[in-house]
Amino acid sequence: MKEYKILFSGTPGAGKTTAIGAVSEIPPVVTDVPNTDPGYAKAYTTVGLDYGQLTLDTGDCLRLFGTPGQARFDFLWRILGRNALGLIILLDNSRPNPLADLEIYINGFGEALRSMPCVIGVGRHDQGNTALDDYGLWLMERNMILPVLPVDVRRRADVVLLIDVLLAELEFHIRKGECSHVE
């Protein structure tokens, strides 16, 4: 059995903790504390990490790590991102400017994204003024082509789809010789 690490990041309230809990075979480890940031309307927020795991049909194990969402914890993004096979960025489309939110994570993981596959999951995609196509256009303007999918992080099938697409991206990168940290 091999073990692989996948990282979930994104805005506070986008559903990182919920997504990991939706697919984890173990009770997820969470480091939530009462939220004191008035910019985010939620009772609790992650300050360390979330952790869960998922076994693939091959018997290999995916270790699922969630980062804190606030940019002030970006040092943890880099620590948790070490040796990750891929990144899933979760966004909340109902926020005032989700494309600006996306920019924070694209910049925060900028160097890692040169060799690490990434998938964007957009929650509450039917709310707000940003269409799913707008995310793709924003990425293309920055010479990035990443899958962008609508997601309800409460639904196991939606989170599994994000992981499946990420693994397909990983396979593509391996075949092109762009992933040096995978056996």
DSSP per-residue string spanning 19-69: HHHHH-SSPPB--EEE---TTS--SEEESS-EEEEEE-TTS-EEEEEE---
**Is the pLDDT reported for residue 22 higher than 70?**
yes
pLDDT of residue 17: 94
Taking residues 50-74, what's their average pLDDT? 92
pLDDT at position 173: 65
Chain-wide mean pLDDT for the chain? 89
Choice between 171 and 65, residue whose per-residue pLDDT is larger: 65
φ/ψ of 76, rounded to 5, equals -70, -30
Number of H helices, E strands in the chain: 5, 8
pLDDT per position as a tens digit, 108-158: 998 888 889 999 999 999 998 899 999 999 999 999 999 999 999 999 999
With a cut of 90, say whether residue 62 has pLDDT above it: yes
- Which residues in the chain belong to E strands, given as ranges? 3-10, 32-34, 44-46, 50-55, 61-66, 86-92, 118-123, 148-150
Residue 58, pLDDT > 70, answer: yes
Structural domains of the chain sorted by starting position, each given as residue range(s) with its CATH number in brackets? 3-175 (3.40.50.300)
Model pLDDT for residues 91-122, shown as the tens digit of each residue: 999 999 999 999 999 999 988 888 899 999 99
What local confidence, expressed as pLDDT, does residue 64 receive?
Answer: 98
Average pLDDT over residues 26-49: 77
pLDDT at residue number 38:
74
Token pair 């920019």 in the structure block, residue: 103
Which token pair is 160?
Answer: 């599994």
Query: For position 183, what pLDDT does the model report?
Result: 47
